[in-house]
Amino acid sequence: SQKIEQNSEALNIQEGKTATLTCNYTNYSPAYLQWYRQDPGRGPVFLLLIRENEKEKRKERLKVTFDTTLKQSLFHITASQPADSATYLCALEATTDSWGKFQFGAGTQVVVTP
């Protein structure tokens, strides 16, 4: 069955450093991969989408890579700030159906300390 794995351990990082999160998947051939941010008690917020034919995508201090051979995506937060503290979820397109159905990873918590 399809499986998505994100590091369940919280990532503690000092302000100004780069946080790197991993999303691994098996039994998938997704055309799209998304990253979301979720704050406690809130719904996830969309951050970035990367397509299978894109190796890298950037948005401000965020960078996402997508390696379909390794079946892995890396999510980087550069020059991290305490406000970046949150849980980050990856989501993969579950099927090739046209309407868009995604499966989410459990998320990795990031804690940025001053």
Partner 1 sequence: SQTIHQWPATLVQPVGSPLSLECTVEGTSNPNLYWYRQAAGRGLQLLFYSVGIGQISSEVPQNLSASRPQDRQFILSSKKLLLSDSGFYLCAWTDRASGRSYEQYFGPGTRLTVT
C-alpha 66/C-alpha 54 separation (Å) is: 7
Burial class (CB in 10 A: 0-12, 13-18, 19+), 98: exposed
Cβ pair 6, 20 in contact under 8 A: no
Nearest to 91 by CA among 36, 31, 42: 36
Contact between 103 and partner 1 (CB under 8 A)?
yes
Q: What are phi and psi of 83, to 5 degrees?
A: -70, -15
Q: Tell me which of 33, 93, 110, 112 binds partner 1, using CB under 8 A.
A: 93
Interactions with partner 1, residue window 39-78 (CB under 8 A): 41-46, 49
Smallest gap from Cβ 46 to partner 1, in A, equals: 5
Span of 18-26, 62-70, 73-81, 87-95 interacting with partner 1 by CB under 8 A: 87-95
Whichever of 28 and 104 has its CB closer to partner 1, that residue is 104
Whichever of 45 and 79 has its CB closer to partner 1, that residue is 45
Smallest gap from Cβ 16 to partner 1, in A, equals: 28
Span of 17-25, 68-76, 77-85, 91-99 interacting with partner 1 by CB under 8 A: 91-99
Cβ pair 7, 31 in contact under 8 A: no
According to DSSP, the residues that pair with 4 across neighbouring strands are: 25
Site residues (CB under 8 A) for partner 1?
A: 4, 31-32, 34, 36, 41-46, 49, 89, 91, 93, 98-107
